[in-house]
Amino acid sequence: MSPTPPNPPVFVLVHGAWHGAWCWRRVLPLLRAGGHEAHAVTLTGVGERAHLLSERVTLQTHIDDVIGLITAEELRNVVLVGHSFAGLVITGVADALLQRAPGVLRDLVYLDALVPRPGESWSSTHTPETVAARVGAAQASGGLSFPPPDAAAFGLDGADRDWVNRRQTPQPLAVYQAPLAFDAQRVASLPRSFIDCPQPALATIAVSRERVRSEPGWRLLSLPTGHDPMVSAPEALSALLLDIARA
């Protein structure tokens, strides 16, 4: 009797700030057509879960959102993809699951994403001007959330820009300056890829781009598009993700 073939990798996609699972609409069917199970999470307080926005939504809430999906669906061999802000989230997820359930995660993919160091927050690598602007913008909501930028900042135009602008929702402020404690060596035990999207390059990702070029252990990939490649280049992005799953 021939041995049972291993299950193909499963994709779990985690959106960045102001977005929701909706942003992966063009990518999910391509990953599934490639023979893989694929899930997209919506983090608490944004997207179709914007009605749950409250002062109780924290960075740990978002980490628990992702762990909750992986646990509820009983997923293993997971390629965990985090876009933008969600680089912080998937780092926290990896640190937790490597302790609680080793073997669940297969790869980490940072999609034009924040690459944190222990004790850093999302805001740690931003300029003082950016931090002040975002915290100041949250005053209109009583410090609860801050509004999204125009999607043109992500290199989108035309119908794509309009689609993203319609769907973006305010981001919970509590996740912006919350530090993440994690074991860097533990997280680095997983294969890690960084997908750079430099056309145009989003300034708030600049420090992460430098880190993955100077630190060992990273697989560096690039797409000639802007910060929302799941919208602007879904076919090319899906091809890269499928390549990572085959590696």
Catalytic site residues?
A: 84
Q: Are 242 and 34 in contact (CB under 8 A)?
A: yes
Q: Are 83 and 108 in contact (CB under 8 A)?
A: no
In sequence order, what are the beta bridge partners of 109? 81, 193
One DSSP character per residue, 189-241 reads TS-EEEEE--TTPPGGGHHHHHHHHHSTTEEEEE-SS-S-HHHH-HHHHHHHH
Structure tokens at 166: 């319609």
CA–CA dist 18, 50 (Å, integer) = 10
Measured in whole angstroms, the distance separating CA 72 from the mean position of its chain's CA atoms is 20
CA–CA dist 118, 244 (Å, integer) = 26
Q: Are 136 and 220 in contact (CB under 8 A)?
A: no
Residue type, 209: R
One DSSP character per residue, 95-163 reads HHHHHHSTTSEEEEEEES-----TT--GGGGS-HHHHHHHHHHGGGGTTSEEPPPPGGGGT--HHHHHH
